[in-house]
Amino acid sequence: MKIIRDTQRNCARMAAEEYRKLLNENPHCVLGLATGSTPEMLYEELVALCKAGKLSFKDVTTYNLDEYVGLDGSHPQSYRYFMDSHLFNLVDIDKTRTHVPCGIGVTDEMAAHYDDEIKQAGGVDLQLLGIGHDGHIGFNEPHDAFDLGTHCVDLAQETIEANKRFFDGNEDLVPKQAYTMGIKTIMQARKVLMVANGKGKADIVKKAFFGPVTPEVPASILQMHPDFILVGDEEALSEI
């Protein structure tokens, strides 16, 4: 595990540099992408690098971590909408090669097919992650089994509360379930990059990376990943 500590902006720049290197070395790479407030600054940096001609997404394939059950891509709080507006519509990516789990009309079998698609594309080269206050990665909540692929989850109450800020502060509007890549899917990525910002993440970052590896803290499994980088600001890393 490699840990990098700097300001939020410098963290985003360093993370963007990982992408610049990867995309220049392997223009056909497969990216695992994330949503939420954490990656917003990184996506800004990637858009700027792309506009400056320093990297291109032209031949890249992407797979997002998760999507709310019941929201389709035109819903402003869907993760497809987030990705389109924060990255895909602003760079030179071929949108037919961007994948976000479908939130509507999906059976468990169809959800699991996402893992087959990722495999067929060659596997994820670089998986981006944030971390939930309860230690979730993607939407793998505490106590979810480590050996699951993409599946449907019930969101933890803590997650619903944390995410209501995106739904006019109204908990009732937050979907209660999501499709998420499983921990197994995430651990199969060749490299994993987690970004963590803010005081609110300090306790869970300490628990996840300096405590026992346990399904109670899903992110703790990343201690076992052979190529894992944690990039965090002073506040998020203040307890370690």
Least Å distance, CB 203 to ligand PGA, is 14
Binding of residue 36 to ligand PGA (CB under 6 A): yes
11-40: string of b/e by CB count within 10 Å (b at 16+)? bbbbbbebbbebbeeeeebbbbbbbbebbe
Q: Please select the residue that binds ligand PGA; options are 12, 30, 33, 38, rule is CB under 6 A.
A: 38
By beta-carbon proximity to ligand PGA, the closer residue of 82 and 114 is 82
Q: Which stretch binds ligand PGA (CB under 6 A): 17-25, 30-38, 68-76, 222-230?
A: 30-38
CA distances from 53 to 21, 134, 151, 201 (A): 13, 39, 37, 34
By beta-carbon proximity to ligand PGA, the closer residue of 58 and 164 is 164
Q: Please select the residue that binds ligand PGA; options are 131, 205, 219, 221, rule is CB under 6 A.
A: 131
Query: Tokens in use for 133?
Result: 């206050």
Catalytic residue among 136, 144, 225, 233: 136
Length of the chain: 240
DSSP-assigned letter for residue 156? P
Binding of residue 232 to ligand PGA (CB under 6 A): no
Binding of residue 153 to ligand PGA (CB under 6 A): no
33 backbone φψ class: left, alpha, beta (φ>0; ψ -120 to 50): beta
Binding of residue 132 to ligand PGA (CB under 6 A): yes
Check if the beta carbon of residue 142 is closer than 8 Å to that of residue 179.
no
Residues found near ligand PGA in the complex (CB under 6 A): 36-38, 130-132
**What positions carry a catalytic annotation?**
66, 134, 136, 141
